[in-house]
Amino acid sequence: MSKSTPSKRSTKTRIPIVNLDRCQPATCGHACVKICPLNKKSKVVYPDNVTKKARISTKKCIACGICVNICPTHAISMVGLPIELKEEPVHQFGENSFRLYSLPFLVKGKVTGLIGANGIGKTTVMEILSGKLVPNGGNYQLKDLNMEYVLSNLQLSVQKAYFRSLKNKRVKISYKEQVLSKYLEEENTIREILEREDELGRVKKLIRELQLESFLDRKFMHLSGGERQRFAIAVALSKDANVYLIDEPGNFLDIKQRLKLASLFHNLTKQDKTVLVVEHDITILDYLSDQIQALWGTPHAFGVVSGVKGVKGGINAYLTGHLKEENITFRSKGISFLRVVKERKWDTIPILVKFTTLWKKFDKFRLKVSPGQVHKGETLVIIGENGIGKTTFVKMLAGVLTPDRGSADVMATVSYKPQFITRDYEGTVNEFITNFSGRYTGEQTLKQTFYQPLGIEHLFDKQVNDLSGGELQRVYIGACLTKRADLYLIDEPAAFLDVEERIKVARIIRNAASLYNASVIAIEHDMQIADILGDRIMLFLGEPGEKGYTVGPIGKRDGMNQFLKTLSITFRRDAETGRARINKGDSRLDREQRESGEFFFERN
């Protein structure tokens, strides 16, 4: 399951990579410079004139690894490039920085799904294709490049026509970025922005289809994560463009909203438009894509875009780590969903949380939670649409909100990871985790059980306000789980995480429940992760923004079936990987499963 360096049956070229975020020369005194044996005769490892951070000559370095072992912040690594990567990079950020090899092949009238780990170059691909970033072909010293340079110098035979059209303004791009901070300074309301940005007279239809009516008169800064995401998608789809680049549209959206994306994107392809989508929810990526290209490599070191593949074969190739046509194997062990949590009896297990009927009313919304209980050592997953009371229920258990009627008997200390995580913390990751959890981060058990598996140990000296979305999510989860508690409340743990990270986090959460003999209640929209994570299911149903009610906790099989029935979709398991796939509506499998009442088909 690990993000391993690509393995081949052939030799690799080893290159030095320096993670500038981790490099802290003020604390180590340039230990790498002092220890390098080649520095006695030549300038191989040296401090940058401006930043004072380590630089390593790629041409002179012999990849002995001494500097890797001496670096106290693990900022230096030696990465093996497969010998097949004979061409120059499409883009390189610096001598010891990330380099991207190849770009996706976009097809008119098709939705291309792009899958890959965080830090592997997906957003770099999007910025290059949008024209926001001009690729330098590995000549990272060059500044102020233009499309003329790209057409004259880069070995991009397949994409040259695309870049020529981009240069001549014959292709128009609409780009929905992953980070939406550009709208934070907007003084206009959502309605005013949409009317201003609309180029096709499409905005009224998009407002209805993306359910934006309830927040049209608010400003962007006052929107929830899901509202911001739907607004940004509406802006992108209202543009009169040939190519639509959509980066991580699923974050903060519920499954019903994610399914709607497929319909919206395919409406574009029916008009002969080109759509490229980056998405980590593989169930949804499978459903909305016509073809797949996978990005493989080593995060923060190099990334390579695979050839075009069919949807099922492309996603499976990414999960197994074997690209048959390229004869590349980039995982030592494939990702499998075949072993999931089995149903178990809870009658004899002690109860940790017990609640009567809970009522909570806001201005226009009312929630009724049916009586229920959570057992010691249980992981309960909450699923349902946005705006239906899931977070409200969790906040009542956490003591953040008080029910209007009813009571929750929580016989436990609680640790709570909220849905909306913020960078508004003045201090390092180490300080944040220590303050949140009340525990010393140097404890060996915590390192082995949480910090190392979550990949956050190397972030300890980094400022919280400098973290990426995925890093911030993992830090919050780590802080939540290392706090000593009997009940862990975790709201949307998979947001901003890639496929590998999602699976790893799900297993770490379950390990925490086992280690502490604690209970977990988690809200999750990624059905694949909900399947891995939960022992039982609690359904939230109703009308978003108006009323919500609950079913359960009930067994996972019954819960999944009831929920999928409300969505009018059926799932099957892929025989090779065990992952959940959505059946095509009214297909033979879809009809058979509906008739049998098995909306979530367990057998392979």
Identify whether the C-beta of residue 485 lies closer than 8 Å to the C-beta of residue 413: yes
pLDDT (mean) for 4-26: 72
- Asked if 184 contacts 221 with a C-beta cutoff of 8 angstroms, the reply is yes
The fold of 351-569 is Rossmann fold (3.40.50)
Burial of 347 (0-12, 13-18, 19+ CB in 10 A): exposed
Distance CA 235, CA 190 (A): 10
* Bond from prior residue into 553 cis (ω within 30 degrees of 0): yes
Span 233-254, pLDDT tens digits: 999 999 999 999 999 999 889 9
Sequential DSSP letters for 463-510: BGGG--HHHHHHHHHHHHHHS--SEEEEE-TTTT--HHHHHHHHHHHH
Q: What pLDDT score was predicted for residue 355?
A: 94
Nearest to 282 by CA among 590, 589, 599, 579: 579
Q: What is the pLDDT of residue 157?
A: 63
Tokens 């925490």 found at: 512
CATH of 12-82, one of 3.80.10.10, 3.30.70.20, 3.65.10.10, 3.40.50.300: 3.30.70.20
- Tell me which of 81-90, 416-425, 568-577 is least confident: 81-90
Q: What are phi and psi of 101, to 5 degrees?
A: -110, 125
Q: Is the pLDDT of residue 2 over 60?
A: no
* Interval 318-362: pLDDT, tens: 999 999 888 888 888 888 886 556 677 888 888 899 999 999 999
Give the pLDDT of residue 542. 94
Domain pair 12-82 / 351-569, same fold: no
User: Of 238-247, 343-352, 532-541, 558-567, where does mean pLDDT reach its minimum?
Assistant: 343-352
- One-letter identity of residue 450: F
> What's the pLDDT at 278?
96
What percentage of the chain exceeds 70 in pLDDT?
96
Q: Is the pLDDT of residue 225 over 90?
A: no
Q: What is the pLDDT of residues 326-337, one digit of tens each?
A: 888 888 888 888
**Residue at 432: amino acid letter:** F
Lowest pLDDT segment from 19-28, 152-161, 583-592: 152-161
Pair 483, 537: CB distance under 8 Å:
no
Instruction: Tell which wins on pLDDT, 83 or 126.
Output: 126
For residue 31, which phi and psi values (nearest 5 degrees)? -60, -35
What whole-number distance in Å separates Cα of residue 66 and Cα of residue 25?
Answer: 17
pLDDT band at residue 156 using 50, 70 and 90 as cut-offs: low
pLDDT at 244: 98
**Which pLDDT belongs to residue 158?**
66
Contact (Cβ atoms closer than 8 angstroms) between residue 576 and residue 564: no
Residue spans of the domains in the chain: they are 12-82, 91-172+241-329, 351-569, 570-604
Indicate the CATH number for domain 91-172+241-329: 3.40.50.300
- For 386-407, write each residue's pLDDT tens digit: 889 999 999 999 888 999 999 9
Q: What is the pLDDT of residue 22?
A: 84
Convert the pLDDT of each residue in 175-195 to its tens digit: 999 877 778 888 899 999 999
**What angle is formed at CA 435 by the lines to CA 429 and CA 438, rounded to 5 degrees?**
120
Q: H helices of 71-224, where?
A: 122-130, 147-153, 160-167, 190-197, 203-209
Average pLDDT over residues 145-153: 83
